[in-house]
Amino acid sequence: MPELSMILAGLGDAFSLQTLAFVLFGVITGQFVGAVPGIGPVMAMAIAIPFTFGFDALAGIGFLVGVNKGGLVGGAIPAVLLNTPGTPDAAATALDGYPLARQGKPLKATKMALFASVTGDTFSDIVLITVSAPLAVLALRMGPVEVLGLMMLAFAVIAGLMGSSLSKGFIAAALGLLCAMVGTDPEHATPRLFFGQYELYDGLPLPAVAIGMLAIAELLNRLARSGGVRAAVTMPERQSAADKRVSWAEYWACRYTIARGALIGTVLGALPGIGSTAAAFMSYASARQASRDPGSFGKGSLHGIAAAESANSSVMGANMIPLLTLGIPGNVSAALIISAFMIHGVQPGPFLFEQQGRLIYGLFGAMIVANAMNLLVGQIGLRLWVRVVSAPESFIFSTALLMCFVGVYLASGGIFGIGVMLAFAVLAFVMNAFGFSVVVFIIAFFLGPRLEISLSQTLALLDGHPLRLLDYPFGLALMALAGATGIYLARRRQFDAPE
Amino acid sequence: MNANRLSGLVFVGFGLLLFTVVIPWQVETVAYGWLKPRTLPRILAVFMVICGAVLAIWPPADRAGRDIRWARAALFAALLVVALALMSRLGFVLVAPVMALAIMLLAGERRPLWLILGAGGMPALIWLVVARLLERPLP
């Protein structure tokens, strides 16, 4: 278990002026980009990662955490004002936020979203801080067989839950793993699938692949659909003071809804593959079911907004649990944070608490600070973001593309990296168009080398005797669970229900 | 034939191509060890053939391949490739404003203020921050 001095040193780092400044900058950036439909925190994180290269590790990762948390709050603004969620997570927020805005109370709706979001996020961060260190101790006891079983389980869950069918999920995972095989074979150090391109000896650069697939592909998609100029956001001229704020009584009346949403988001967030969008809708449905006045939902209910926002924001802290304890990213934001860890020479996984304990407790401190800043910046900035989101898409998208070019150039050290980024952007565009999950691809791409190493070590341990697997009951149970999960998900989807 | 069946068949073909041509050509043979360099790529190739076949035989009821403006997306993608080729020869400072202007015009923007901000202001700001303040190289 971590020593108290290390925990205090880490928390001290989180409160250094530099870290506070970067977290604040991240929160402001996140709220701003979250408010712009089509950009969102994931794309902002993807673009920002290479720029954190020059920062101190905690400042860089704290900045990205700030972007992610701020983006979840910012995403509610277009959902409420335009009925166009800035992020998919905010789709459930629009169900009640937009009707409330139409009733002339857009600020009340966005403020309830802010308060519920910060409450849910803080709850899940506390759970993360409490459970991750003991879980990492357990994870350290796992050998290659158990790690292999765990990865198989993660693949079964992620591939099964994302994308429009199980077979498409598995194909996306196989493609991601195949791309992870490019470069040098980890066991024999022989070159593999590099087609004479010596830049690929170390494998495909993760920042170029992630930015191409997450940012450029989405920008291409939006540009292909865009008319360049969206309708400007308009605020009602006259609003009473009561309509501009959320009173303590209104917030307190939603306490059970927020608590339930935070719990749902935290539990779902800790499981790989279940995103915040699912958590938000599940919490919304649960709040409606528990409500004494279910008829008010969908007509501007504060409970509806609180349910959706508390759940989608509480996923953020919880999905760091598998990332920090096992090195398995539960969703795309976690996969991007892993990229940032790797850029700073930090390998996520159970050894993280042992080797980089100070950084991790600094990160925990930065997460709590980011929640407080989210509240503060949101209180001041909501009115401002409402004005800023009226900038035309053409301007925002062309700027984002330029930043992707520069960011990948900086991260991968050359024009070749930008070429890789564009190639993977085209691949992701086609994958998205045909319903293959890009998120599954990226998670598989990241986990590929570890999967191959643990498979190689497992085969060496078994030494040609499969029955020796019985000596590893926990690993065997995880493999069986992976198989059972795959079968369950396949049956649930009726094995790609025919057209 | 619908898009899902077609994509399933594409992956069957891709998996076979990997197994029979690409992997033998691009992965060296090693005689020792339990997990040889070719083992996992081959497993993945077979897996792709199986999943592709499943997709072709039992396609899901989704809207794969529809509602996509392929020509317009290809136009923007081609623009980015040309910009990359030019950037590798002429550099970011000369190419970025032209690239941003072309993207904004193709996206339908015609207002001079936004065009000036996008094609002039933002590349200049990026240059200032990256090359001058952070002292990092630009393409």
What is the per-residue pLDDT across A176-196, written as a single tens digit (0 to 9) for each? 999 999 998 888 888 899 888
Given pLDDT bands bounded at 50, 70 and 90, which one contains residue A163? low
Given pLDDT bands bounded at 50, 70 and 90, which one contains residue A272? low
Given pLDDT bands bounded at 50, 70 and 90, which one contains residue A84? low
- Lowest-pLDDT choice from A20-24, A69-73, A339-343, B105-109: A339-343
- The answer on pLDDT for A494 being more than 60 is no
Where do we find the tokens 């509602």? B67
- The answer on pLDDT for B74 being more than 70 is yes
- Lowest-pLDDT choice from A16-30, A160-174, A368-382: A160-174
Residue B122: inside a domain: yes
Q: Are residues B51 and B75 in the same domain?
A: no
What is the per-residue pLDDT across A59-78, written as a single tens digit (0 to 9) for each? 888 998 898 888 888 878 87
- CB contact under 8 Å between A402 and B99, yes or no, is yes
Q: Are residues B12 and B52 in the same domain?
A: yes
Residue B138: inside a domain: no
Q: Is B86 within 8 Å of chain A by CB? A: no
Residue B15: inside a domain: yes
Residue B23: inside a domain: yes
CA distance linking residue A280 with residue A91, whole number of Å: 8
Distance of alpha carbon A295 from the chain centroid: 33
Residue B139: inside a domain: no
Q: Which residues contact A48 (CB under 8 A, 6 or more apart)?
A: A29, A63, A64, A67, A407
| 3-class DSSP state of A322 | helix
The single-letter code of the amino acid at A160 is G
Amino acid A37: pLDDT: 63
Here the tokens at position A243 are 């309509």
Distance from CA of A412 to the nearest CA of B (A): 11
- Average pLDDT (A27-41) is 77
Amino acid B13: pLDDT: 96
What are the angstrom distances between the C-alpha of A321 and each of A328, A447, B21, B48? 9, 16, 42, 31
Q: Is B114 within 8 Å of chain A by CB? A: yes
Where do we find the tokens 């899901």? B60
CA distance linking residue B89 with residue A228, whole number of Å: 30
Distance of alpha carbon A444 from the chain centroid: 15
Q: Which residues of B touch A398 (CB under 8 A)?
A: 99-100, 103-104, 107, 118-119, 122
Amino acid A233: pLDDT: 46
- The answer on pLDDT for A238 being more than 80 is no
The single-letter code of the amino acid at A442 is I
SS (H, E, C) B83-129: HHHHHHHHCHHHHHHHHHHHHHHHCCCCCHHHHHHHHHHHHHHHHHH
What are the angstrom distances between the C-alpha of A408 and each of A50, A416, A432? 6, 10, 22
- Lowest-pLDDT choice from A152-156, A306-310, A359-363, A452-456: A152-156
- Per the CB < 8 A criterion, the answer to whether A263 and A121 are in contact is no
Q: Which residues of A touch B72 (CB under 8 A)?
A: 223-224
If one counts the domains in chain B, the total is: 2
Q: Is B98 within 8 Å of chain A by CB? A: no
CA distance linking residue A125 with residue A437, whole number of Å: 28
CA distance linking residue A459 with residue A449, whole number of Å: 15
The single-letter code of the amino acid at A461 is L
Q: Is B92 within 8 Å of chain A by CB? A: yes
- Per the CB < 8 A criterion, the answer to whether A271 and A157 are in contact is yes
- The answer on pLDDT for A250 being more than 80 is yes
Distance of alpha carbon A22 from the chain centroid: 19
- Lowest-pLDDT choice from A230-234, A382-386, A461-465, B128-132: A230-234
Given pLDDT bands bounded at 50, 70 and 90, which one contains residue A278? confident
Share of chain A above pLDDT 90, in %: 21
Q: What is the mean pLDDT of chain B?
A: 90
Q: Are residues B52 and B74 in the same domain?
A: no
Residue B53: inside a domain: yes
Whether this prediction's pTM lies above 0.90 is answered by no
Amino acid A430: pLDDT: 93
| 3-class DSSP state of A266 | helix
Amino acid A496: pLDDT: 46
Q: Which of B5, B12, B76, B136 to mutate to test the interface with A (most CBs of A within 10 A)?
A: B76
- CB contact under 8 Å between B64 and A164, yes or no, is yes
- Per the CB < 8 A criterion, the answer to whether A44 and A333 are in contact is no
Kindly report the number of other CB atoms within 10 A of residue A163's CB atom: 26
- Lowest-pLDDT choice from A42-46, A257-261, A294-298, A413-417: A42-46
Q: Are residues B75 and B28 in the same domain?
A: no
Q: Are residues B34 and B79 in the same domain?
A: no
- The answer on pLDDT for A370 being more than 50 is yes
Here the tokens at position A226 are 């865009």
Q: Are residues B78 and B51 in the same domain?
A: no
Q: Are residues B76 and B127 in the same domain?
A: yes
Q: Are residues B80 and B129 in the same domain?
A: yes
Instruction: Give A191's strand partners.
Output: A184
- The answer on pLDDT for B94 being more than 60 is yes
The single-letter code of the amino acid at A110 is T
Amino acid A241: pLDDT: 73
Q: Which residues of A touch B130 (CB under 8 A)?
A: 406, 410
Given pLDDT bands bounded at 50, 70 and 90, which one contains residue A39? low
- CB contact under 8 Å between A406 and B126, yes or no, is yes
Amino acid A1: pLDDT: 58
- CB contact under 8 Å between B77 and A54, yes or no, is no
Q: Are residues B120 and B90 in the same domain?
A: yes
- Per the CB < 8 A criterion, the answer to whether A85 and A221 are in contact is no
Phi and psi at residue A80, in whole multiples of 5°? -75, -40
Kindly report the number of other CB atoms within 10 A of residue A383's CB atom: 13
Instruction: Give A378's strand partners.
Output: none
CA distance linking residue B23 with residue B8, whole number of Å: 21
Where do we find the tokens 């991968």? A412
Q: Are residues B79 and B39 in the same domain?
A: no
Q: Exposed, middle or buried, B133 (CB in 10 Å: 0-12/13-18/19+)?
A: exposed
CA distance linking residue A383 with residue A234, whole number of Å: 11
- CB contact under 8 Å between B2 and A460, yes or no, is no
Where do we find the tokens 């079911």? A289
Distance from CA of A194 to the nearest CA of B (A): 7
Amino acid A231: pLDDT: 45
Q: Which residues contact A380 (CB under 8 A, 6 or more apart)?
A: none
SS (H, E, C) A399-448: HHHHHHHHHHHHHHCCHHHHHHHHHHHHHHHHHHHCCCCHHHHHHHHHHH
Q: Are residues B103 and B124 in the same domain?
A: yes
The single-letter code of the amino acid at B54 is V
Amino acid B61: pLDDT: 76
- Per the CB < 8 A criterion, the answer to whether A214 and A445 are in contact is no
Q: Is B76 within 8 Å of chain A by CB? A: yes
Here the tokens at position A250 are 């209104």
- Per the CB < 8 A criterion, the answer to whether B60 and A497 are in contact is yes
Amino acid A495: pLDDT: 47
Here the tokens at position A410 are 């900086």
The alpha carbon torsion through A80, A85, A86, A90 (nearest 10 deg) reads 90
What is the per-residue pLDDT across A194-228, written as a single tens digit (0 to 9) for each? 888 888 888 998 888 888 887 888 888 888 876 55
Share of chain A above pLDDT 70, in %: 90
Q: Which residue range is the domain that position B127 belongs to? A: 70-133
CA distance linking residue A132 with residue A367, whole number of Å: 14
Q: Is B12 within 8 Å of chain A by CB? A: no
Length of chain A as a residue count: 499
Amino acid A142: pLDDT: 80
Q: What is the helix (H) or strand (E) element at residue A192, kind and residue range?
A: strand A191-192
ipTM of the prediction: 0.94
Residue B62: inside a domain: no
Residue B93: inside a domain: yes
Amino acid A498: pLDDT: 42
Q: Is B100 within 8 Å of chain A by CB? A: yes
- Lowest-pLDDT choice from A252-256, A286-290, A308-312, B91-95: A286-290
Single residue among B34, B57, B80 that ends a domain in this structure: B57
